[in-house]
Amino acid sequence: MKKTESNRYEYLKAEAKAPYKGLRKFLYASFGASGFIGAFIFLMQFLAGKPEVLPNLALQMGLIALMVLFWKLEKK
């Protein structure tokens, strides 16, 4: 086997072991960024004196924590 064929074979083995790993990491990063933007907006509204946005802020913080957890589990 040539070196490039060997590398391709290793890549295909890794992809078969964990399919769509790159896509999942992209989605985790995208959803985490969305949660961060939402949390920032709701935090600013909360600081401006709107306490009714607190549940939405908590939801966004939970989303960020979940995406960080998924990202770390993906690395294992």
pLDDT reported for residue 2: 67
- The residue ranges of every structural domain in the chain are 19-75
pLDDT reported for residue 12: 85
Per-residue pLDDT tens digits of the chain, which is 76 residues long: 567 888 888 888 888 888 888 899 999 999 999 999 999 999 999 999 999 999 999 999 999 999 999 999 988 7
pLDDT reported for residue 17: 84
Q: Do the Cβ atoms of 74 and 25 come closer than 8 Å?
A: yes
Report CA 28 to chain centroid distance, whole Å: 2
